[in-house]
Amino acid sequence: MSNGIANLVDWLNQTYIRVFTKRNGVVVGTDRYGNTYYRSKTIAPGQRERRWVMYVGEPEATKVPPEWHGWLHHTHDSPIAETSPLVKPWVKPHQPNATGTLQAYRPPGHMLEGGRRARATGDYQAWTPD
């Protein structure tokens, strides 16, 4: 597919999703990253309500913080509030997956970090089967 056609398809998909959301969705809330969460206005008999998220920027599932992840997957009836006993002070803030980005972790010796690793210090003894 050429780049122009791919861009058109992406634009049409985004337009469809926005129109669908405007017609069928009710805003439930937003997270600290600006993502907006929706639920369906109506529920078909015998089915549970639909829940979805409109991402800010690139759509990436790891941008959903845990308190909203549980709500999206029907684990909780509502997002976990900051004042909930489930929120612990020692839990680090949620960070989206950085793999494939400039913020990704690169250990010493990685090709993009110079490609040279420090030599073993002598406290390492390789295992050999007997």
pLDDT for 108 equals 81
Paired tokens of 15: 């337009």
Residue 129 forms part of a structural domain:
no
pLDDT for 125 equals 79
How far apart (Å, rounded) are the C-alpha atoms in residues 112 and 106? 8
pLDDT for 2 equals 67
Name the 3-class secondary structure at 29.
strand
pLDDT for 26 equals 94
Q: Walk along the chain (130 residues) and give the pLDDT tens digit of each residue.
A: 567 888 888 888 888 888 998 999 999 999 888 999 999 998 889 999 999 999 998 888 888 888 899 899 999 888 877 777 777 888 887 777 888 888 888 888 888 777 777 777 777 778 889 7
Residues 6+ apart with CB under 8 A from 113: 106, 107
pLDDT for 66 equals 83
DSSP secondary structure letter of residue 78: S
Domains contained in the chain, number: 1
Residue 125 forms part of a structural domain:
no
Structural domain of 91: 25-113
pLDDT for 1 equals 54
Residue 71 forms part of a structural domain:
yes
Residue 83 forms part of a structural domain:
yes
Residue 121 forms part of a structural domain:
no
pTM: 0.67
pLDDT for 40 equals 93
How far apart (Å, rounded) are the C-alpha atoms in residues 74 and 52? 11
pLDDT for 49 equals 92
Q: For tokens 């439930």, what's the residue?
A: 28
